[in-house]
Amino acid sequence: MDHEYLANLLYPDIDTVPDDMEKAYPPRDLPEGAKVTRFAPSPTGFIHLGNLYGALTDERLAHQSGGVFFLRIEDTDSKREVEGGVELIIDMLDKFGIHFDEGATSDGDNGSYGPYRQSRRKKVYQTYAKDLVRKGLAYPCFCTPEDLNAIREEQEREKLTPGYYGKWAKWRDADLDSIRRELDAGRPFVLRLRSEGHEGDSFKFDDLVKGKIDITANFIDHVLLKSDGIPDYHFAHAVDDHLMRTTHVVRDESWLPSLPFHIELFRVLGFRMPKYIHTAQVLKLDDGKKRKLSKRKDPEFAMSFFYSRGYPAEVTLEYMMTLLNSNFEEWRNANPDLPYTDFPFTVKKMSPSGCLFDFDKLNDISRTVISRFSTEKMYSSSVEWAREFDPELADLFTANPDYAKAILSIGRGGKKPRKDITVFSDLRSYADFFFDGLFVQKDPFPDVFATEKIREVLSLYADEYDESEDRDMWFARIKSIAERTGFCPDMKEYKAAPELYAGSVADVSMFIRLALTGRLNSPDMYDVMHILGRDRSVSRIRKKAEEL
Ligand code: GLU
């Protein structure tokens, strides 16, 4: 067989050789130990928290070592492509604090190892494909889907390993005449690897997270290029990660079954292998059982949904770090104020088996992180979130920034800040009563109290409220009003003989709170009244007394 002739017959337009590519993509000039990693999504526009887990691993490895983190779009399967999908992915990762040094951008490429969209790298792949044909390491296969089906059915019947290999590989040793006949007839072909592996061979492989694993050698003549001349994942992975000088491939463990094929590819292509980190999958508890996240069943794990709920980027990253490294929490407790990027992240502490996503823990972290925001940060983050997801609230906040900041400053600062807000989507129900237009009576006045009694308390309080009184005087006045309206000012005394009173001072406070905020639970009432201001506070109380 004249392989050179066959190579030119199959790829007449390719005039480049691997050496040209090696020159165009030279080894990177980076300091010793610097890692080069990539995030390589399909342009579906959809990314979930499992993807973020991988992306953060990539990002930490690169940036912690002074290396490069790049974005490559794996768009060789147009069926999976969604209009604007690339922009959605870039935008979402950016919002969650994951930034790339180079790679695909919404309007092109940034960096000298591109193009970073696989669909634009046809010539690169075909250069290597042609070279493999030239060396007798790849061959065209003209099998139709029906031929392949027939092979599969027979293999099933004979209980053999399915796939295109050995005696089933009809085109592996076809002669030039038969190949030319098919080409002349215009029949499409795929390019296959002429595998040199043997069924049953095995060897050890070192994965940085999984440790030493047993690999069964590949012996299937897998497809390298599809009939449109574009590779699918495998061949593109080897060529791109070699030329883009990736040092560490971080990917989901679901790729492990393809690893034997990839190892063979790197060998036949003469490439040095990168290090591999096959990450555990992110799992959730469903009815007490752990299972993989599912796009269909778990919309709350889509990053877009997560974002719309208003988890701040720093919370998500903080939580991801607890999933990524088992010793992160210990470090965090010892270093509550350092940025997470100061943590010495290591693949050695990554779990080789599934890691469980725990929403309760995430929410807990979120409450803590938000409670530590300064008022200024809380204000700017809230407005940024609300502009997109609650424009009415954003307008109210920005119309009077000082008022909004005063609301957001309640219980903030100090040693034990209040943890009332878990996500930005809690803001509306947290703050709505401060705005007359959003005020609603969420909780009714309990009907165990006579309306007349409540009215009497509220009217008296509205008459007497004095904004200049300090916290102690303010409470003393509530007690005094309780006493004068038949409520017991002292809780202990009240509990000893409740039948002697209309209620207690706690009930009086509750009436005022219900009138002011429309609810039974609210932030500190003294603070609330000072933010609302005298006029608004008194008119709300008076209005409620009249309406009852
Ligand atoms: N495009 C592949 C995916 O979306 C990337 C896997 C990898 O990172 O190599 O699963």
pLDDT-based confidence at residue 1 (cuts at 50, 70, 90): confident
Share of the chain above pLDDT 70, in %: 100
Tell me, what's the pLDDT at 281? 87
The C-alpha atoms of residue 340 and residue 321 are separated, in whole angstroms, by 8
CA 537 to ligand 1 center in whole angstroms: 58
CA 79 to ligand 1 center in whole angstroms: 16
41 CB within 6 A, ligand 1: yes
Could you please report the per-residue DSSP string of 197-250?
Answer: --TT-EEEEEETTTEEEEEEPP-S--EEE-TTS-B-HHHHHHHHHHHTT-SEEE
Mean pLDDT of the chain: 95
- Per DSSP bridges, beta strands 355-356 and 190-193 are unpaired
**pTM of structure:** 0.88
Of the two residues 313 and 530, the one the predictor is more confident about is 530
Tell me, what's the pLDDT at 79? 79
Cβ within 8 Å of residue 140, ≥6 positions away:
6, 10, 133, 171, 179, 182, 189, 190, 191, 192
pLDDT-based confidence at residue 429 (cuts at 50, 70, 90): very high
Beta-strand runs (E) in 7-115: 36-39, 68-71, 102-105, 108-110
- State how far the alpha carbon of 132 is from the alpha carbons of 7, 47, 323, 452, 504, in Å: 8, 35, 42, 93, 88
* Cβ contact 423:309 at 8 Å: yes
CA 41 to ligand 1 center in whole angstroms: 5
The C-alpha atoms of residue 385 and residue 394 are separated, in whole angstroms, by 8
pLDDT-based confidence at residue 44 (cuts at 50, 70, 90): confident
Tell me, what's the pLDDT at 43? 87
CA 251 to ligand 1 center in whole angstroms: 6
pLDDT-based confidence at residue 101 (cuts at 50, 70, 90): very high
48 CB within 6 A, ligand 1: no
42 CB within 6 A, ligand 1: yes
pLDDT-based confidence at residue 539 (cuts at 50, 70, 90): very high
Cβ within 8 Å of residue 209, ≥6 positions away:
277, 278, 279, 280, 347, 350, 351, 352
Placement of tokens 């399909």 in the chain: 42
Tell me, what's the pLDDT at 45? 80
The C-alpha atoms of residue 541 and residue 316 are separated, in whole angstroms, by 41
Domains of the chain by start residue, with CATH: 6-15+122-279 (3.40.50.620), 286-371 (1.10.1160.10), 375-433 (no CATH), 451-547 (1.10.10)
* Cβ contact 39:248 at 8 Å: no
pLDDT of 269 higher than 80:
yes
Tell me, what's the pLDDT at 53? 93
Q: What is the DSSP letter of 38?
A: E
Tell me the sheet residues that pair with 355: 282
207 CB within 6 A, ligand 1: no
In 3D space, the residue among 24, 97, 105 whose CA is nearest the CA of residue 72 turns out to be: 105
pLDDT of 273 higher than 90:
yes
CA 17 to ligand 1 center in whole angstroms: 27
Q: Which atom of ligand 1 is nearest to the CA of 74?
A: 1
Q: Which atom of ligand 1 is nearest to the CA of 250?
A: 8
Of the two residues 288 and 538, the one the predictor is more confident about is 538
pLDDT of 207 higher than 80:
yes
Tell me, what's the pLDDT at 410? 93
Q: What is the DSSP letter of 255?
A: G
Tell me, what's the pLDDT at 103? 97
Q: Once rounded to an integer, what is the mean pLDDT over residues 46-52?
A: 88
pLDDT of 80 higher than 80:
no
CA 464 to ligand 1 center in whole angstroms: 68
274 CB within 6 A, ligand 1: no
Tell me the sheet residues that pair with 275: 248
Nearest CA to ligand 1 atom 5: 40
Could you please report the per-residue DSSP string of 328-372?
Answer: HHHHHHH-TTS-GGGS---GGGS-SS-EE--HHHHHHHHHHHHHT
Q: Of 32-46, 279-293, 363-377, 438-452, where does mean pLDDT reach its minimum?
A: 279-293
* Cβ contact 502:405 at 8 Å: no
pLDDT of 295 higher than 80:
no
253 CB within 6 A, ligand 1: no
The C-alpha atoms of residue 381 and residue 424 are separated, in whole angstroms, by 8
Q: Once rounded to an integer, what is the mean pLDDT over residues 1-6?
A: 95
Nearest CA to ligand 1 atom 4: 41
pLDDT-based confidence at residue 150 (cuts at 50, 70, 90): very high
CA 531 to ligand 1 center in whole angstroms: 52
Tell me the sheet residues that pair with 283: 292, 356
Tell me, what's the pLDDT at 292? 86
C-alpha distance across the termini of the chain, in Å = 98
pLDDT of 23 higher than 90:
yes
Q: Tens digits of per-residue pLDDT, 354-367?
A: 888 888 999 999 99
